């Protein structure tokens, strides 16, 4: 199968890593929109336009399904994508249904999202449905995705990144100190899992990201739509990556996936 993956920047690697782990024999086409990364402060009309363009580019590669590996893009554009393209899409939303699995009624959570996601109707409707009594705090990160982009591309040192990260999440750290029941941070942007260990160190919270569940959902969709089954030969076709829409495809640039496990 040929699977498309889209994100504004490097965040989609947190999803691609899980897809590859679960379905290593497929060929993935990861197209990012680096010129406009991150999407977290963009307007809805702009996001719809860009996601339509990214989809058209992936269709040229004859992909069978597209994973929108971006919470903001899912919140603002996936309904438009489904209405305008026949290809199936798998989106990603913050893991708010963790409330149904918590082991103690005294556990509290905070969800870290981008500014655009925080005000999107889709996200607010989801939170209203899954968290009607507002047990989950919402924290809109102003520049965390941008910091991760710079750090991933070696445009800032680890030390500088950790200083900036600590400043960005200082309010969460203080909330944890004043609210001992606060136990976990739900990562509501695919960039954030790339540095989950550093987020945990800066906030004192456990991080939650349903990457495996996204991969499992993608596999289920392939099974239901295409009677998909993993090839007996488990050798990989690898993946192709374009950092910008105007760039050529890079085939099997494994250094990017290797870096996912290193930068956190």
Contact 29, 239 (CB under 8 A): yes
Rounded Cα distance between 142 and 232, Å, is: 46
For residue 69, the Cα-to-chain-centroid distance in whole angstroms is 5
For residue 141, indicate whether it is catalytic: no
Pairing outcome for strands 239-242 and 250-251:
antiparallel
Residue with tokens 């438009």: 80
Catalytic residue among 189, 199, 202, 205: 189
What count of other Cβ atoms lies within 10 Å of the Cβ of residue 204?
15
For residue 189, indicate whether it is catalytic: yes
Expressed in percent and rounded to 5, the helix, strand and coil fractions of the chain are: 50, 15, 35
- CA neighbor of 92 nearest in space, from 155, 21, 186: 186
What count of other Cβ atoms lies within 10 Å of the Cβ of residue 254?
9
What DSSP string describes 89-105? EE-----GGGGGG-S-T
Retrieve residue 106's tokens: 């005294």
Catalytic residue among 70, 81, 199, 205: 70
Rounded Cα distance between 81 and 154, Å, is: 33
- Catalytic residue numbers, as ranges: 70, 189
């Amino acid at each position: 199968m040929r699977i498309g993956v889209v994100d504004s920047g490097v965040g989609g690697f947190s999803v691609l890593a899980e897809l590859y782990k679960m379905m290593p024999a497929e060929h993935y086409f990861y197209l990012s929109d680096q010129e406009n990364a991150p999407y977290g402060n963009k307007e809805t009309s702009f996001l719809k336009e860009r996601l339509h363009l990214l989809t058209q580019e992936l269709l040229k590669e004859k992909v069978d399904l597209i994973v929108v590996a971006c919470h903001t893009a899912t919140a603002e554009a996936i309904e438009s994508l489904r209405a305008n393209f026949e290809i199936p899409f798998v989106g990603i939303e913050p893991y708010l249904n963790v409330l149904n699995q918590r082991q103690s009624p005294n556990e509290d959570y905070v969800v870290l999202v981008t500014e655009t996601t925080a005000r999107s109707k889709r996200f607010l409707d989801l939170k209203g449905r899954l968290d009607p009594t507002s047990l989950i705090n919402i924290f809109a990160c102003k520049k965390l995705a941008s910091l991760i982009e710079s750090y991933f591309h070696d445009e800032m040192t680890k030390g500088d990144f950790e200083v900036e990260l600590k400043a960005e999440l200082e309010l969460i750290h203080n909330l944890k100190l004043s609210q001992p029941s606060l136990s976990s941070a739900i990562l509501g942007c695919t960039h954030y899992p790339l540095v989950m260990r550093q987020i945990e160190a800066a906030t004192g919270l456990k991080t939650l990201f349903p990457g495996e569940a996204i991969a499992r959902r993608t596999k289920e969709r392939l099974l239901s739509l295409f009677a998909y089954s993993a090839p007996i030969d488990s050798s990989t076709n690898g993946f192709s990556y374009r950092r910008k829409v105007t760039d050529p495809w890079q085939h099997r640039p494994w250094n990017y996936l290797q870096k996912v496990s290193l930068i956190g």
